[in-house]
A and B are shown apart, each in its own frame.
Chain A
């Protein structure tokens, strides 16, 4: 199967899963913004998604995407490490125009996984999971206020979002490039788009963290 046996196929899987996750993040982040604009609206969203069949299907789909993305990330990284050969260069200089993020996608990804575990424990385990188990879910707004009023959680979330930003500044244009959607004219454009998308996603998430951290300080 070419999606597994060929390098371009593997990159195709990587870019499709990555790009789908980016779309999900955009969706997730815009829901979060509601928590600032209208806490009641946010509670309504939490309730509406809850453990309904469409939310469950979505969650399962997401889990699948993340799983495939991570498994492929490791396969690609191991293959690439081997391809470099046993003997390493003694002198390594950086080249012009090579982004730092592009060489550290796996490390950034690992930070994202750790952050994801923290995030799932904070929110998902207390909301959707308990609802699946047939109990009363915690209030989304309460969890937000509680978590982000602690400076250490807020700080960890910011580090996590920082790693995500680096991952996406390279990831978005790289995904388009891997899919073949690039040429000399579009190269600077999609790199710019990549920075815009990464910044937008991270700003949307970060604003909720910062807003509720400040609220926690004032209270």
Chain B
């Protein structure tokens, strides 16, 4: 049986990167608890369009938790109050009738607001471009089992690789630090023999880029891992520190 709820939305509206933003309050009635959070925002936008008002701009793409676009800070949590899911996987059954829901964009110096709830997350792409890859000569494809890899390492690399680059870690962090993201991207390669070859160069380049882009210094609060939709582990940050410190001592 379908259940519906009435909610009040407080949404951050900002005309452009330099414009002064502020909260707008909207009343939405008869929202199905089976709908997703983004579907609820679609309903809001249809309503706004029908009233000839400007719809709320928010990022989204896959709507199934794999692209990392849906960067919304809901009721004090990146990706909402539920754990280990993205905003697009959040459902309205997590809210109660009469709730007021506050929706804000990621707030971090390195993620400037483009419009309303949409932020520029290209800083993460720049970090990847600085070294988050393995240089290979594309020749014949080697057999997948030609290089034996311990199961434990493969699993840990896989867990790190589950990071979707959504930016929730930096958004959650009181220090605006991107360490969990960089740690995941450094770890996914540093744990594997193919990635070890360039590990030192990679960690220096990626961390250097991260610092240059104005992210903060990690103080190990752990807010990032608590909010990460993919449950990337905090100990990846220890690996990042280790890789970086060792690389610097070798220089």
Chain A positions near chain B (C-beta within 8 angstroms)? 2, 5-12, 76, 79-80, 82-93, 95-99, 102-103, 105, 170, 173-174, 177-184, 186-187
Contacts and interface: CB of A to CB of B under 8 A. Distances in A.
Contact of B245 (A12, A91, A92): A12
A177 B233 CA distance: 13
Contacts of B75: 91, 93
Given A103-B221, A180-B245, A6 B211 contact: yes
A184 to B, nearest CB: 5
Contacts of B177: 7, 80, 83
B105 to A, nearest CB: 9
A98 B221 CA distance: 6
Interface string B198-239: 000000000110110011111111110011000001110111
Interface of B: 10, 21, 23, 73, 75-77, 81, 83, 102, 104, 107-111, 113, 172, 174-177, 179, 207-208, 210-211, 214-223, 226-227, 233-235, 237-246, 248
Contact of A90 (B102, B179, B220, B238): B102
A97 B221 CA distance: 9
Q: Is the interface of B mostly helix, strand, loop or mixed?
A: mixed
A91 B238 contact: no
A187 B21 CA distance: 41
B217 A79 contact: yes
Contacts of B76: 89, 91-93
Given A7-B211, A83-B108, A182-B238, A174 B248 contact: no
Given A89-B107, A91-B102, A95-B172, A11 B217 contact: yes
Given A6-B207, A181-B238, A183-B239, A85 B108 contact: yes
B189 to A, nearest CB: 17
